[in-house]
Amino acid sequence: MDIPRIFTVTESAHRIHNPFTPEKLATLGAVLRLEPGTRVLDLGSGSGEMLCTWARDYGITGVGVDMSRLFSAQAKRRAEELGVDDRVEFIHGDAAGYVAAEKAGVAACLGATWIGGGVAGTIELLAKSLLPEGILLIGEPYWRQLPPTEEVAGECLAGSISDFLMLPELVGSFGELGYDVVEMVLADQEGWDRYEAAKWLTMRRWLAENPGDDFAKEVRVLLTSEPRRHVTYTREYLGWGVFALMAR
Ligand SMILES: C[S@@+](CC[C@H](N)C(=O)[O-])C[C@H]1O[C@@H](n2cnc3c(N)ncnc32)[C@H](O)[C@@H]1O
């Protein structure tokens, strides 16, 4: 079981697989006023940076589930590196339908809401693992500007304009699902650059090291087109944020 290989190539050097910088991730942990010992569940935990740094900085414990073999291994290594491997656990597996045996004070899905079939389904899934009065975290893109055409939405790597909402509509949608938005931290264009531009150097070096790989042609095409695509489309049209929710 694994994710498509392209992500393992382009994001192999990422610690954070979303448009948050380390500062934004730390801000998110701080604004949640996490008590030491709070249990955090993270579905689609990537390379584990949120759980590992929050265990180090805020004394949380936690479990992450991720379908990438590489990212799960990186998460375990990061936990050891930060000396928190006794407090955080990483499970390599499909998080769809995952319900924690021990309920959490914070249950998160940052940038992987397809795990629950969309935002509403992911909230429903996370809620099954949450203690009463616990906090859900949803990391999700939104449109900074509405794309004028479906083609532009496609260039932002969205399936269609309707895949994402504008920020006021996204925030409002949580209320319609019966949740209060109790905090939020938004990424910015610098964060998008860190997420996207970091892939370019990784691809360039991967190509130099793997010239004969079957995948090299695909990576070459991406490296040639991605910088211009990013600055024209994703950087201008897409926002991203993490929304902290509590049931009404
Ligand atoms: C955009 S990344 C976000 C990772 C992490 N939350 C972060 O912010 O660094 C999406 C993650 O979801 C994982 N993923 C994709 N499908 C999954 C599934 N069905 N179950 C668990 N993880 C999945 C990928 O391996 C990847 O790590």
Atom of ligand 1 nearest to the CA of 71: 27
**pLDDT > 90? residue 205:** yes
Residue with CA closest to ligand 1 atom 27: 46
Ligand 1 site-directed mutation target among 10, 17, 110, most atoms within 8 Å of CB: 17
Beta bridge partners of 68: none
Distance CA 136, CA 129 (A): 10
42-88 tens-digit pLDDT:
999 999 999 999 999 999 999 999 999 999 999 999 999 999 999 99
127-141 tens-digit pLDDT:
999 999 999 999 999
* DSSP SS3 for 97: coil
Please work out whether the CB of residue 71 comes within 6 Å of at least one atom of ligand 1.
Answer: yes
Rg of the Cα atoms in the chain: 18
**pLDDT > 90? residue 1:** no
Please work out whether the CB of residue 203 comes within 6 Å of at least one atom of ligand 1.
Answer: no
Ligand 1 centroid, distance to 170 Cα (angstroms): 21
Q: At what angle do helices 189-209 and 216-229 cross, to 10 degrees?
A: 150
Helix spans in 21-118 (H): 22-31, 49-58, 69-81
CATH number at residue 24: 3.40.50.150
Can you give the residue range of the structural domain that contains 237? 5-247
Report the residue count for the chain: 248
Read off the amino acid at residue 72. S
Distance CA 15, CA 50 (A): 9
88-132 tens-digit pLDDT:
999 999 999 999 999 999 999 999 999 999 999 999 999 999 999
* DSSP SS3 for 5: helix
Measured over the CA atoms of residue 88, residue 93, residue 94 and residue 97, the dihedral's sign is negative
Ligand 1 centroid, distance to 205 Cα (angstroms): 23
Please state, in angstroms and as integers, the Cα–Cα distance from residue 206 to each residue in 28, 74, 192, 199, following that order. Answer: 32, 18, 21, 10
Ligand 1 centroid, distance to 116 Cα (angstroms): 12
Ligand 1 site-directed mutation target among 1, 2, 3, 41, most atoms within 8 Å of CB: 3
Number of domains in the chain: 1
* DSSP SS3 for 106: strand
Ligand 1 centroid, distance to 22 Cα (angstroms): 17
